[in-house]
């Protein structure tokens, strides 16, 4: 696992690079205490992603088997959303590895902040729920 931080975009080689990126990204904010890398029941780590920042909701779709899965509690808000399809800001790819970082309250009893990020399709989302990275991993 190594992230190349030279140049305009950060470039990583593996899905787990998302964890390292979030640790760096959140070190001066609500730090990431827990991290989950999305993995489909079929074993795939590659997804397309629809996300809407008004209520902070997102849904991933496996590019291998087409199974859809809402991120965290997104299904509760989905009906009222107008989601966008994520795509790489450089190559326009619509598939990516997806990770979720959780910043927890000190007592570890509740989530304080949630970061959603994807490898190969990064742009900043500045809502309470999403961190869409300016840096490509």
Q: What is the overall mean pLDDT for the chain?
A: 80
Number of Cβ within 10 Å of residue 89's Cβ equals 16
Tens digits of per-residue pLDDT, 70-126? 998 888 888 888 888 888 777 788 888 898 888 888 887 788 888 888 876 444 333
* Residue 55 falls inside a structural domain: yes
pLDDT at 5 over 60: yes
Q: How far is CA 50 from CA 33, 76, 98, 121, in A?
A: 25, 15, 12, 12
Q: Is residue 24 part of a domain?
A: yes
Residue 1 lies in a domain: no
Q: Does the residue 125 lie in any domain? A: no
Residue 45 within any structural domain of the chain: yes
Tokens of 106: 């000190």
**Residue 126 forms part of a structural domain:** no
Kindly report whether the global pTM for this prediction surpasses the value 0.75.
yes
Please report the sign of the dihedral spanned by the C-alpha atoms of residue 14, residue 49, residue 40, residue 80.
Answer: positive
Specify the number of domains making up the chain: 1
Residue 131 lies in a domain: no
Question: What percent of the chain is predicted at pLDDT more than 70?
Answer: 85
For 124-133, how does the pLDDT look when each residue is reduced to its tens digit (9 = 90+)? 333 333 333 3
Structural domain for 53, as ranges: 17-119
């Amino acid at each position: 696992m190594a992230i190349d931080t030279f140049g305009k975009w950060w470039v990583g080689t593996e899905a787990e690079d998302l964890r390292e990126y979030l640790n760096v990204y959140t070190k001066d904010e609500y730090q990431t205490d827990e991290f989950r890398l999305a993995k489909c029941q079929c074993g795939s780590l590659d997804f397309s992603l629809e996300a809407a920042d008004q209520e902070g909701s997102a849904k991933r779709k496996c590019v291998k088997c087409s199974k859809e899965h809402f991120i965290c509690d997104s299904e509760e808000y989905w009906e009222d959303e107008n989601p966008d399809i994520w795509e790489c800001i450089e190559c326009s790819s619509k598939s990516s590895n997806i990770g979720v970082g959780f910043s927890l309250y000190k007592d570890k009893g509740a989530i304080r902040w949630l970061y959603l990020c994807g490898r190969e399709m990064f742009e900043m989302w500045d809502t309470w729920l999403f961190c869409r990275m300016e840096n490509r991993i």
